[in-house]
Amino acid sequence: MDSRIYILTHKQLTGQLSIAERDEFRQLSVNPEHKAVSEEIAYLWNVSNNYFPTKDWKKDDAKDAFLKKIRQPVKTTPTRPVATINRFNWQRVIGAAAVVLLLVWAAVAYFNRNITIKAVDKIEYAEILDNSSIWLDQGASLTIIKKSDSERKVALQGEAFFDVTHDPSRVFTIDLGNHVFAEVLGTSFKARSTHSGLNGKISVREGSVRLFSDRNSEYDLTLTAGQEGELNPEKDVIKKSNTSTIRPFMSQTSQLSFDDTPLDEVLDKLGLHYGVLFDYDRNSLRKCRFSAGVPSDASLEQTLMSIKGVHEGLIITPKDRSTYRVDGSCG
């Protein structure tokens, strides 16, 4: 392979190609091997100059290695076949190493990217970070920032209900905006971010949650089951109160109505609004029907009693803090 391609590629990247060299570069690039090497060099050059910034990229080392390579004197083609073969293999190794480096960079970028989940016009359920569950309110979004051996971290905009998988070795942190954070190990709670001028708010259903500001140590609350807390350092808000129930339906203000609705659809919708999962046989419940209006301030227990009042053959029992098992028949 003609090493002239290295020098001309460097001149092209730095805007130093003359008209004659531009024609020479175009002719060399007709060769597929020359073109591939030139493209790899251009890509690595862009990365090393932070045009494509990546985590932990050693910019100076990459740039120095590249400059050292292109500054090597041009050698005439040897007449000995063995030398030609050795030089060709060496160039192939360089090309292969560049490709491997690019693949490693792509893998690092992929696994360190932030993932965002959005609920546009309805409440959305998702499983994140070691089977932790979230119910996002309409218009809310959640971004997964970090997952490591010692930490799980997300950022919330809007309102959501969380059921975090217990793991004492890895704290679960929620960035609520405006330097307000919630920190848990394993619990279920409702969270509201500070966006749109609101106070950061936590309502705990089970377990405990720490609500705090990383800017002012005076703004620090530990909340347990049945408690709510609000923080807003800019407005000097810090308060804790007791609550008998975590208000369901999140952003809903009117009652939820069902009119001869299949019971599997009823449970799916109630699960979204109450922040729970129902474990049931869909085929058997699809034959059941339910008609009722569920007030916005009704608790989950009251709503389930209403369903069992209509279908006395159903057995609904809690499996854990956010899962209910449904057995029996409609009757």
Task: Return the residue matching tokens 């004659």.
Answer: 20
Q: Give the model confidence (pLDDT) of 146-190 as tens digits.
A: 788 888 999 999 999 999 998 888 899 999 999 999 999 889 999
Axis crossing angle, helix 4-13 with helix 59-70, rounded to the nearest 10: 130
CB neighbour burial string for 181-204, b if at least 16 within 10 angstroms, e if fewer:
bbebbbbbbbbbbbbeebbbbbbb
As a residue count, the chain comes to 331
Are 207 and 184 a contacting pair, CB within 8 Å?
A: yes
Count of other CB atoms within 10 angstroms of residue 177: 16
- How far lies 84's CA from each of 81, 93, 174, in Å? 5, 14, 60
**CA distance linking residue 289 with residue 262, whole number of Å:** 5
Ranges of H-type helices in the chain: 4-13, 19-28, 32-48, 59-70, 81-111, 263-274, 282-285, 300-310
For strand 277-279 and strand 323-328, is the pairing parallel, antiparallel, or unpaired? parallel
Phi-psi region of 270 (alpha: psi -120 to 50; beta: other; left: phi over 0): alpha
SS3 12: helix
Nearest partner of 54 among 41, 68, 44, judged by Cα? 44
Nearest partner of 218 among 231, 199, 228, judged by Cα? 231
Nearest partner of 203 among 268, 256, 274, 252, judged by Cα? 274
Task: Return the residue matching tokens 């916005």.
Answer: 296
Q: Which domains does the chain have, with CATH numbers?
A: 4-111 (no CATH), 115-242 (2.60.120.1440), 256-328 (3.55.50.30)
- How far lies 302's CA from each of 152, 279, 324, in Å? 35, 19, 14
Q: Give the model confidence (pLDDT) of 204-230 as tens digits.
A: 999 999 999 999 999 999 999 999 999
- What is the distance of C-alpha 242 from the center of its chain? 32
For strand 323-328 and strand 289-294, is the pairing parallel, antiparallel, or unpaired? unpaired
Phi and psi angles of residue 134, each rounded to the nearest 5 degrees, phi first: -135, 145
pLDDT in tens, the chain (331 residues): 567 877 887 777 766 777 777 778 888 888 888 888 877 777 676 655 544 444 444 555 655 665 565 555 545 445 454 444 444 455 565 666 666 565 555 544 444 457 889 998 889 999 888 889 999 999 999 999 878 888 899 999 999 999 999 888 889 999 999 999 999 988 999 999 999 889 999 999 999 999 999 999 999 999 999 999 999 998 999 999 998 777 777 776 678 899 999 999 999 999 998 999 999 988 888 889 999 999 888 888 999 999 999 999 999 999 988 899 999 888 6
**CA distance linking residue 261 with residue 284, whole number of Å:** 14
Are 201 and 182 a contacting pair, CB within 8 Å?
A: no
**CA distance linking residue 145 with residue 175, whole number of Å:** 9
The helix/strand count (H/E) of the chain reads as: 8, 19
**pLDDT at residue 37, rounded to an integer:** 80
SS3 3: coil
**CA distance linking residue 241 with residue 101, whole number of Å:** 55
**CA distance linking residue 147 with residue 314, whole number of Å:** 40
